[in-house]
Amino acid sequence: MSLRFADVDPDAIDLHVLSQDTVEGWLADQPPAVAAWVGANGFTGSIGEALVIAGADGLPMMALAGYGTPQSRARGRFALASAAAKLPSGTYRIAGGLSAGQAETESLGWLLESYRFDRYKTAKPMVAKLIAPAGIDADRIQIIANGEALTRTLINTPASDMGPPDLEQAARDLAKQHNAQINVTVGEDLLAANLPMIHAVGRAADRAPRLIDIRWGNGGPTLTLVGKGVCFDTGGLNLKPGSSMGLMKKDMGGAAAVLGLAHMIMGTGANVQLRVLIPAVENSVSSNSFRPQDILTSRKGLTVEINNTDAEGRLVLADALALADEEKPDQIISMATLTGAARVAVGPDLAPYFSDDATFVAALESSAQAVADPVWRLPFHTPYEAMIEPAVADLDNAPSGGFAGCITAALFLRRFVTDSNYAHFDIYGWQPSAAPARAKGGVGQATRALLDALDRILTK
C-alpha cells in the first residue's frame, strides 16, 4: 500500500490541535454554541481525544484533536495519530496548535497510523485523510512513511510467502523502482564466491541460501548497509521450543529494515554511493544441517566453532560484513534481530546499537530524539573479547555463561570489519501491542534516525 497525503481540498475540515493547557483559551474565542458543545462532550485536550463540531447545516464545521501535556507526550510517540484514528471520514487540514517540528513528526505519524497489512484479510482502512501541513517537506515524509511501510510488510509476511527467493524479489522490485543495480549469488555459487558461512547456515533448506547485493548512486561518500535475512529460524539442530519459534518469521527484520532505509535514501536522492548486502537464508533442519561443534571457516579466514546452531545470524552477517569491508566504505551499518539479550536489556521499544565513532554517536542520538525514533547505545566492551575465543578455533558463535549476550554478539561481528567505520543495531523489529502510528506486528526501528543522521554526517 502507498501512504500519501490527501490532495488540497477547499472543503477540507479545519483540525485544531489542542493541548490540555490551551483548551480553555481556545474556547474563550469561540461562539457560545461551540463552547457548549465541547463542554457537553467532555473534551479536555487529553491525548487521543477527537471531536467533530457541526455547523448550522449539520455538516462538520471543524474538528478538535487532543494533544495532552508535555509529560503525557513524553510517555509515547505520535500523539496526534491516536486522535486521527478516531476522526470520521473526511479530509482534514491542521489549523493550528503545532510547531513546525511537531507538524512534521505528527503528519508522519498520521500516515503511519493509516498503514494496514491486508494481504491475507481485508482490513478496515483509516478514513480520516490529512492534507500536508504548510512548511513541511511532504514528499520526503511520504518517502519515509513508505520506507517504513515496506519494512513492516516484509516482516509481517509469513515465511511461507517470504522465503529467500521472495526476499530476493522484494529487493529486485526495490532496485527496479530506483534504477539500482542488483546481483544475487545463490546456492552452491556461494562457495565459489567464498561466502561459506552463508552457505552453511542455509544449505539444509529447500529454498536455497543467497546473498543479495544492491548498488545505487555514482557520487558522494560510500555507505554499505548489511541486513540479517534469516527468513525463518527453527534454531537448526539446536531446535527452538515452539514458544520461541512463534515469531521467527520476523528474523529477517534486519533485512527488512535496511531495505526500508534504502528506499528512504534512494527516494530522497541522498548524495551517497549506497550498497546493500543481505544474506538471505532459512535455518532449517535436515540431514545436511550444520552441527554443534562444527568448525566453519569464514570468508575472512577466521575459524568459528559452532556451539549453538541457533546463533546463526552472526554467521551469515560475518561473511557479508567481511565482503563489505573489502571495499573500505566510509560507513558500514549492520541491522539484525540478533539476540534475546538485547530485548532483556532495553525491551522492545528501543533499538540498541554499538559504535565507537563519537561523531556518528552524537549525530544519531540527536536525530533519534528529533524524529521520534529512539535508540540506546551499548558498548563494544573490549575486555569481553576473551568470551568469544574458544580453545579450538578463532571464535565461538555462542559463548557459554549467558552474560552480556548482545555485547558478545556485537564483538563477534566487529571481528569481521577492520578497515571501515562500523555501527551495529540489534533491533527487535516487532511491535508487541498496538500504539499510535505503530500497529501490532512488524515495525522499523532506528531507520528514520539513521536517515536523518546520515544526511548530516555523510551527505553534506
Phi first, then psi, for residue 233 (nearest 5°) are -125, 100
151 and 87: one domain?
no
Q: Are residues 98 and 145 in the same domain?
A: no
C-alpha to C-alpha distance for 374 and 355, rounded to whole angstroms: 16
Whether 108 and 159 share a structural domain: no
Which structural domain, as residue segments, surrounds residue 103?
13-114
In a domain, 6, yes or no: no
Same domain, 102 and 204: no
User: Is the residue at 123 inside a domain?
Assistant: no
Residues 259 and 309 in one domain: yes
Is residue 312 domain-shared with residue 392, that is, in the same domain? yes
Strands (E) across 144-272 are located at 181-186, 210-216, 222-227, 229-233
CA-wise closest residue to 97 among 70, 67, 75: 67
Catalytic residue among 93, 240, 343, 456: 240
Phi and psi based region of residue 187 (left: phi greater than 0; alpha: psi -120 to 50; beta: remaining) = left
**CA quadruple 33, 39, 41, 47: dihedral positive or negative?**
positive
> Are residues 282 and 188 part of one domain?
yes
The stretches in the chain having pLDDT less than 70 are 459-460
Please give the pLDDT value at position 459: 66
Residues 94, 218, single domain; the answer is: no
Same structural domain, 108 and 162: no
Pick the catalytic residue: 210, 275, 299, 314? 314
Residue 45 CB neighbour total at 10 angstroms: 22
Residue 129 is among the residues annotated as catalytic for this protein: no
189: domain CATH number is: 3.40.630.10
User: What tens digit of pLDDT does each residue of 199-234 get?
Assistant: 999 999 999 999 999 999 999 999 999 999 999 999
> Considering the domain boundaries, does residue 252 fall inside one?
yes
What's the pLDDT at 458?
A: 81
| Residue finishing a domain among 79, 114, 149 | 114
For residue 402, is it within any domain? Answer: yes
In this structure, is residue 4 part of a structural domain? no
pLDDT for 456 equals 86
Residue 318 lies in a domain: yes
**Assigned C-alpha cell, 172:** 529486485
* Residue 127 forms part of a structural domain: no
261 and 171 share one domain = yes
Residue at 120 is within a domain = no
Same domain for 153 and 102? no
323 with 431, same domain? yes
How does pLDDT run across 299-309, given as a tens digit for each residue? 999 999 999 99
Question: Which pLDDT belongs to residue 18?
Answer: 97
Answer yes or no: 121 catalytic. Answer: no
Domain count, the chain: 2
Distance of alpha carbon 196 from alpha carbon 362, whole angstroms: 36
DSSP single-letter state for residue 121: S
Q: What is the CATH number of the domain that holds 22?
A: 3.40.220.10
